Amino acid sequence: MAFFAVPAGAQDSGAPVSAADLISGEPHPLPVAGKVTMVDIGAHSCIPCRMMTPIIEELSREYDGRAAIAFIDVWEHREVASQYGVSTIPTQIFYDAQGKERYRHVGFLDKQSIVAKLAELGVK
């Protein structure tokens, strides 16, 4: 099954997407309906993006069921960058549970900062 990134605020198909799927680098309907969502937009071959990979993988497991942590590789899916208004990678976009963008960061973002932002958005 193929998933395509959709701009912020669009409705997803309701099809279940696993935490592992969300960090695969493939586009998915995002933000995830009813969940705080963090989307890391980068590339597997970008050095700061690669530095974030273990953080994103770890957070995806830790927050499974409580928040959605996603990664999209824009070098493999170039159309996604313009859909999300991204001109520099990595870029992290945080959405509240209603799908509204609440915060955007460009560059490497450490685990502690991501956890703090998720908490600020109500994730326990």
Give the CATH number, domain containing residue 52.
3.40.30.10
Catalytic machinery residues: 46, 49
d(CA 101, CA 60): 19
Residue 17: predicted pLDDT: 58
In this prediction the pTM is 0.82
Which domain covers residue 78, as residue numbers?
19-120
Cβ atoms of 77 and 27 within 8 Å: the answer is: yes
Residue 14 covered by a domain? no
pLDDT, averaged per 10 consecutive residues of the chain (124 residues), comes to 35 53 73 93 93 93 93 89 93 97 97 98 96
Residue 105 covered by a domain? yes
Structural domain count, the chain: 1
Residue 118: predicted pLDDT: 98
- CB burial string 69-94: b at 16+ within 10 A, e below: bbbbbbeebeebbebbebeebbbbbb
